[in-house]
Amino acid sequence: MSAQARTIQEVAHDALEDLESAQIVLRKLEAVLYAALATEGTSQHVRNLVDVAWNLAADGANTADCNREQIAAALVGCAALGAGGDQ
């Protein structure tokens, strides 16, 4: 198997798409966990565990979003310098 050489821009673009996908999944998980917290009749121990999971999902989604924005801004800067497509 011979793999085609990929430019830095292509690799970064794929990384951005992966981060966006991760963010979407984490936001959906966050919504499900938040809804679970609103459910009555759940023991306090289970509610505490769900709350921890909800916070982790929210933090993960926020981190993915921030990283995606930083990479996108860096790519714009690279393109402006003319360093993007031929590396």
Its pTM stands at 0.72
Q: Is 13 exposed, middle or buried (0-12, 13-18, 19+ CB in 10 A)?
A: middle
Q: In this predicted structure, what is the pLDDT of residue 81?
A: 65
Six token digits for residue 84: 């993007």
For residue range 37-68, list pLDDT tens digits in order: 888 888 999 999 999 999 999 999 999 999 98
φ, ψ for residue 49, nearest 5 deg: -65, -40
